[in-house]
Amino acid sequence: MTTVIDGKQVAASVIEAVKTATSALETETGVKAGLAVVIVGDDPASHSYVTSKSKMAKECGFKSIQHTLPAETTQEELAKLVQSLNEDASIHGILVQLPLPKHLNSEPIIQSIRPEKDVDGLHVVNAGKLATGDLATGLISCTPAGALLLVRRIHGEDLSGLNAVVIGRSNLFGKPMAQLLLNANATVTTAHSRTKDLPSVARTADILVAAVGQPQMVKADWIKPGATVIDVGVNRIAAPERGEGRTRLVGDVAFTEASDVAAVITPVPGGVGPMTIAMLMANTVIAAHRAAG
């Protein structure tokens, strides 16, 4: 029997801890944790993510502000907003939702966020701290941090002796995920679209993490029997069985057939997704604690 990890339940326990830490901080220091989320343009999926983030921030007891900017926003306007949030002492976390519209260059924007407020963990200072194993003073990218928490629920803190394969090499997920697994003593392979014979590489994994952005690409024969499979993909596909024009969310793993081979698997939706928001809240209260000294 395969164990399906309930990410919503694990995320709920993280959120409870965040609420406790938030109210303790406010009682002890008078500091209310503050999160600012910035979204540019009209992408419906991004709007839905950002709405969930802002709502959860309020539920956690944060000061929660959302800046919704039009698609025509210029690089300078966005840079100016980030600068003002950097200088706002009531804001401890800044998140600029990605992707930005094509005419904007996201890299200078992300690098202009003060590292102490970079709750996405994308600033080179935070990426560098993770790469050098300094987990105590940096901020870690939310989706990999959440995925690692799920892995730890199954395998414990120490992943010594386990082979982990991460498929995907983005700055937002693949690279930090590999670093986190390495920090936890796993033997880590980062595979990607240019990897030769991806299924064979994937089959070496005790812990297989899929973040390719291709619906149901990871098949049963990519999976070592008994492996733990973490599905980070969120893909919307046509679902004619639900009626004309209807869609549904699927991951990067062919869930039903993979469940016959894996010992543990995360579902989509309800696996890694809820963990991303929970870890964003955790990063914000951590940043607020640090700012309060």
Does residue 28 contact residue 283 with C-beta atoms inside 8 Å? no
Give me the 253-282 binding string for ligand GUN, x by CB under 6 A, dash otherwise. Answer: -----------------------x------
Q: Tell me the residue number closest to ligand GUN, measured at CB.
A: 98
Q: How many CB atoms lie within 10 A of CB 107?
A: 11
Q: Closest distance between ligand GUN and the C-beta of residue 168, in Å?
A: 13
Q: Closest distance between ligand GUN and the C-beta of residue 95, in Å?
A: 5
Q: Closest distance between ligand GUN and the C-beta of residue 161, in Å?
A: 30
Query: Which residue in 97, 118, 206, 252 is the catalytic one?
Result: 97
Does residue 192 contact residue 165 with C-beta atoms inside 8 Å? no
DSSP string for 81-131: HHHHHHH-TT--EEEE-SSPPTTS-HHHHHHHS-GGGBTT--SHHHHHHHH
In the set 4, 98, 124, 217, which binds ligand GUN (CB under 6 A)? 98
* SS3 state at 235: strand
Chain positions 109 to 148 lying near ligand GUN, rule: CB under 6 A, are 120, 142-143
Which one, of 53, 60, 133, lies nearest residue 97 by Cα? 53
Residue appearing with tokens 């992300």: 110
Span near ligand GUN by CB under 6 A; candidates 8-16, 55-63, 90-98, 131-139? 90-98
Residue 195 structure tokens: 């990897």
What is the rounded distance in angstroms from the CA atom of residue 60 to the CA atom of residue 173? 25
* Residue 187: C-alpha distances to residues 58, 93, 164, 206 (Å): 39, 33, 6, 10
What is the rounded distance in angstroms from the CA atom of residue 123 to the CA atom of residue 172? 10
What is the rounded distance in angstroms from the CA atom of residue 64 to the CA atom of residue 278? 15
Q: How many residues bind ligand GUN (CB under 6 A)?
A: 9
Q: Closest distance between ligand GUN and the C-beta of residue 205, in Å?
A: 23
Chain positions 55 to 84 lying near ligand GUN, rule: CB under 6 A, are none
Query: Which residue in 117, 118, 120, 206 is the catalytic one?
Result: 120
In the set 95, 178, 250, 264, which binds ligand GUN (CB under 6 A)? 95
Active site residue 53: yes
Interaction of residue 5 with ligand GUN, rule CB under 6 A: no
Chain positions 192 to 231 lying near ligand GUN, rule: CB under 6 A, are none
Strand partners, 148: none
Chain positions 154 to 193 lying near ligand GUN, rule: CB under 6 A, are 172
Strand partners, 253: 218
In the set 54, 64, 97, 283, which binds ligand GUN (CB under 6 A)? 97
Active site residue 221: no
Does residue 266 contact residue 4 with C-beta atoms inside 8 Å? yes
Pick between residue 162 and residue 275 the one whose CB is nearest to ligand GUN. Answer: 275
Pick between residue 73 and residue 97 the one whose CB is nearest to ligand GUN. Answer: 97
- Would you tell me which residues interact with ligand GUN (CB under 6 A)? 95-98, 120, 142-143, 172, 276
Q: Which residues are known catalytic residues?
A: 53, 97, 120
